[in-house]
Every structure is written in structure tokens, then in C-alpha cells.
């Protein structure tokens, strides 16, 4: 059976590997918000109503370690950090687009 690996993750199922990168609740939401452009931590938190600092920080760290987002720290006072999709994150968002379209099409949206 084929073995698939990405960074420190490895499995014999490509679906498991791909979905494992975005399996936690806030990760896909972070990626979706960053698809519109780079944001500072506070702006990102404002876009994700209901997320705690602990959970957002953990999601950002995991997405950064997985190479899906980049973290840029600017040497200025006060310190400024921006998060943005990496090329791999942009590629993943393109791959997830058919899933998004399917969900929109098949979901029982109120107001339809």
C-alpha cells in the first residue's frame, strides 16, 4: 500500500492525511479568513467570533508548523505580527473549494 507523508505526518490514506491538516474546528475557519489576505492576530480574532485566545493560538501554531500559514514578525514598536496563507495553504484552499461548493449545494440552508 502507498505511503503518503507531509512534513511530520504520515499515513497510508491520502484522505486521512489531508483532512488531518484541517480537522479541528477553528483551523478551516482560520484558513478561510486568511484566504482574503494577511491579518494581525487581533483582526483575525475579531473575524472569528467565539474563539478563545488559547484555541486560536494553538490553531495558528499548528497551521504554521504544518506550513499552511506564514507568520511574519515586524521589528517595530509596538511589535506587529501578521498571518497569511502560505503557498501550500493557498493550494489546500483550492483543493477544498469543491468540498465547499458541495456543502453549499447540499446543505439545508434556512431562508431557501
Q: What is the pLDDT of residues 98-110, one digit of tens each?
A: 998 988 888 876 5
Q: Are 67 and 100 in contact (CB under 8 A)?
A: no
For the cut 80, the answer to whether the pLDDT of residue 111 exceeds it is: no
Q: Are 82 and 72 in contact (CB under 8 A)?
A: yes
For the stretch 56-95, pLDDT in tens is 999 999 999 999 999 999 998 988 999 999 999 999 999 9
Q: Which residues contact 65 (CB under 8 A, 6 or more apart)?
A: 7
Residue predicted with more confidence, 109 or 35: 35
**pTM for this model (two decimals):** 0.86
Q: Are 34 and 93 in contact (CB under 8 A)?
A: no
Amino acid at each position: 500500500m502507498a505511503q503518503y507523508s507531509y512534513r511530520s505526518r504520515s499515513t497510508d490514506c491520502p484522505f486521512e492525511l489531508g483532512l488531518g491538516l484541517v480537522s479541528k474546528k477553528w483551523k478551516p475557519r482560520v484558513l478561510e479568513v486568511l484566504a482574503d489576505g494577511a491579518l494581525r492576530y487581533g483582526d483575525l480574532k475579531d473575524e472569528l467570533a467565539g474563539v478563545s485566545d488559547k484555541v486560536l493560538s494553538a490553531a495558528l501554531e499548528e497551521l504554521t508548523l504544518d506550513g499552511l500559514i506564514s507568520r511574519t514578525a515586524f521589528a517595530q514598536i509596538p511589535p506587529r505580527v501578521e498571518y497569511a496563507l502560505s503557498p501550500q495553504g493557498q493550494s489546500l484552499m483550492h483543493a477544498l473549494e469543491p468540498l465547499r461548493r458541495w456543502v453549499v449545494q447540499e446543505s439545508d440552508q434556512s431562508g431557501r
